[in-house]
């Protein structure tokens, strides 16, 4: 029997399943006998303990997991929720019930908001359960223990559980809920754990079921034959050998250069990214400076963080995305007004135009950070290189080997007017290489116009897929539609690639599509010049690129474009790639 879902990564796992314990039962709605003041004292202690525990888990986990767990720790101490709990205790609720109802109410609000905020709903559930467990004096349900390796099966996984998985024991993940950009998927990808999310029927897997989890295919084989097991174990051995291969620059088999860059959320991941073969940074998200702040960070505060990142990548390219926030990531100093559909609201460049000083400060800080790292006389040369379509590589070796190559881009650019606004402002403030992100279909339709102003374009395939197929990227029920293999998405990417080639300017991909090795080859065939991804995916992508020539990549792209569905495109490309390998 085979179960299907959305695969994370390309790895394979073979082992027995072990289920996550069921969450704590919902507290009974009964009249409290404990005085409200005493109950609130206990709740405050529980909230503080949970917050401290999540902070400590984050520090032990590091990297992307630390950012996620710190956000959860803030949820445990959120004043709005604390006030709501106190009010419910005053109304006669028990401590357990007051906590449950307060978090549940906030959770429902986030689900209704959709987008980024809907993703936080699962995190709130986890915090609520941990607080209630502390109040009851029992351990919070977590990852089961085992003396032997196993494939973990769960309805969903909380960040606190995923972040500290024992990778000697947990060899794969299967979840009923979640999409390709859920926290489970993001953290599994960063840890190189094969995972499949959104698996219908996962809840029926009994403990001890021997399965083959094939993340690349998005399948769980629950009754594998001996031959199936032998083949899976051979693939696991081959991938292990691949991971230990020498680091080389990304390139096709015929020598066509395809720089492989890293997506990073802070400078903390720089060392690991370089160790895994990143040739630079294709997407540096700056939200970490803003999302947990009560006020916008100052220029000086930003310079410190940007300079830290740039110094880590001296001799290489660093592409920085200015703040990508709005009603789906509300900031009191930017825009926290409720919107019925925040994914289509005041976000990205729209929010920044409405609060221009925040954008001005950020661009000023980036220019100052580059100046501090490079000194004088470097930015004009970098800008000239970008305008000529050069510099799309890592920047290691050759020109400016001792300098960092800073590129800055704006999110959610819809047309040439927005591109002109951002690039003009960026250049006035000292940014010499200014580009845009293509995340909505309109940017592909008028790509030729956008390239009149932008030095480069970077495609965010997560949002581009969401908006093209009208499928919320965080909603498990439509996860099957959130697939960048869909020919509609690929045709838009082809339009952007063609426009970039005609303009003589680089076009990159920094969405999760770049982390899919075979899709990465297709993207190159569509005209993409650089690929940026989670660092853990670089080895797989490098190896796959090296198996194909430029003409073969173009042939694979044509096969994908002719398909009528995402599944059809994936199948057609896989078959042609296999035939080329045999030939």
Give the residue numbers annotated as catalytic, written as ranges.
183, 510
Residue by residue, DSSP assigns 489-547 as HHHHHHHHHHHHHHHT--EEE-SGGGGSHHHHHHHHHTT--EEEE-GGGHHHHHHHHTT
Residue by residue, DSSP assigns 316-363 as SEEEEE----BTTB-BTTTB----SSGGGSSBTHHHHHHTHHHHHHHH
Contact 485, 180 (CB under 8 A): no
Question: Helix, strand or coil for residue 469?
Answer: helix
Residues 6+ apart with CB under 8 A from 139: 133
Instruction: Tell how far CA 205 is from the center of its chain.
Output: 28
195 strand-pairing partners: 8, 173
116: region left, alpha or beta (phi > 0 left; psi from -120 to 50 alpha):
alpha
59: region left, alpha or beta (phi > 0 left; psi from -120 to 50 alpha):
alpha
Question: Helix, strand or coil for residue 559?
Answer: helix
Per the structure block, which two tokens stand in for 314?
A: 């001296």
Taking the alpha carbons of 413, 63, 158, 509 in that order, is the dihedral positive or negative? positive
Question: Helix, strand or coil for residue 310?
Answer: helix
Per the structure block, which two tokens stand in for 42?
A: 């206990």
Question: Helix, strand or coil for residue 448?
Answer: helix
Question: Residue 349: phi, psi to the nearest 5?
Answer: -60, -25
Contact 1, 222 (CB under 8 A): yes
Contact 408, 426 (CB under 8 A): yes
């Amino acid at each position: 029997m085979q179960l299907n879902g959305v695969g994370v990564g390309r790895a394979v796992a073979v082992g027995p399943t072990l289920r996550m314990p069921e969450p704590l039962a919902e507290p009974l709605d009964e009249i409290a006998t404990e005085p409200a003041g005493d109950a609130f004292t206990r709740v405050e202690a529980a909230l503080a303990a949970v917050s401290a525990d999540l902070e400590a888990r984050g520090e032990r986990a590091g990297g992307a997991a630390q950012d996620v767990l710190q956000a959860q720790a803030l949820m445990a101490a959120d004043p709005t929720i604390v006030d709501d709990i106190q009010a419910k205790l005053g109304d006669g609720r028990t401590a357990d019930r007051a906590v449950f109802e307060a978090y549940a109410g906030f959770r429902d609000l986030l689900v209704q908001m959709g987008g980024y905020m809907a993703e936080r709903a699962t995190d709130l559930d986890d915090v609520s359960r941990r607080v209630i467990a502390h109040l009851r004096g029992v351990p919070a349900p977590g990852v089961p223990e085992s003396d032997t390796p196993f494939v973990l099966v769960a309805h969903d996984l909380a960040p606190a559980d995923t972040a500290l998985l024992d990778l000697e024991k947990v060899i794969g993940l299967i979840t009923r809920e979640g999409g390709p950009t859920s926290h489970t998927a993001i953290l599994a990808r960063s840890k190189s754990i094969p995972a499949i999310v959104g698996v219908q029927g996962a809840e029926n897997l009994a403990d001890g079921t021997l399965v083959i989890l094939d993340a690349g295919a998005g399948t769980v084989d629950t009754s594998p034959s001996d031959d199936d097991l032998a083949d899976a174990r051979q693939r696991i051995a081959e991938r292990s050998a691949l991971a230990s291969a020498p680091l080389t620059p990304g390139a096709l088999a015929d020598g066509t250069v395809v720089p492989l860059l890293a997506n990073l959320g802070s400078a903390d991941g720089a060392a690991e990214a370089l160790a895994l073969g990143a040739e630079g940074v294709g997407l540096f998200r700056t939200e970490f400076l803003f999302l947990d702040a009560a006020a916008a960070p100052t220029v000086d505060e930003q310079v410190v963080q940007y300079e830290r990142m740039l110094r880590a990548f001296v001799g290489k390219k660093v592409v920085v995305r200015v703040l990508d926030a709005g009603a789906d990531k509300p900031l009191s100093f930017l825009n926290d007004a409720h919107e019925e559909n925040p994914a289509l609201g005041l976000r990205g460049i729209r929010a920044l135009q409405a609060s221009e000083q925040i954008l001005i400060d950020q661009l000023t800080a980036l220019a100052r950070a580059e100046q501090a790292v490079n000194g004088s006389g470097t930015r004009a040369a970098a800008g000239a290189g970008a305008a000529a379509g050069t510099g799309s590589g890592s920047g290691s070796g050759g020109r400016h080997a001792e300098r960092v190559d800073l590129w800055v881009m704006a999110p959610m650019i819809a047309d040439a007017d927005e591109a002109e606004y951002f690039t003009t402002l960026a250049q006035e403030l000292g940014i010499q290489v200014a580009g845009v992100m293509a995340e909505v279909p309109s940017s592909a339709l008028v790509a030729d116009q956008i390239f009149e102003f932008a030095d480069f374009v970077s495609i965010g395939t997560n949002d581009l897929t969401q908006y093209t197929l009208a499928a919320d990227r965080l909603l498990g029920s439509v996860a099957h539609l959130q697939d960048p293999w869909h020919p509609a998405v690929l045709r838009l990417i082809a339009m952007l690639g063609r426009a970039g080639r005609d303009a003589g300017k680089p076009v990159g991909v920094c969405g999760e599509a770049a982390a899919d090795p075979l899709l990465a080859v297709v993207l190159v065939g569509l005209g993409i010049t650089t690929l940026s991804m989670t660092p853990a995916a670089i080895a797989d992508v490098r190896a796959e690129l090296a198996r194909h020539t430029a003409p073969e990549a173009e042939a694979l792209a044509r096969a994908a474009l002719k398909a009528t569905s995402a599944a059809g495109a994936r199948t057609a490309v896989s078959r042609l790639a296999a035939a080329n390998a045999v030939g």
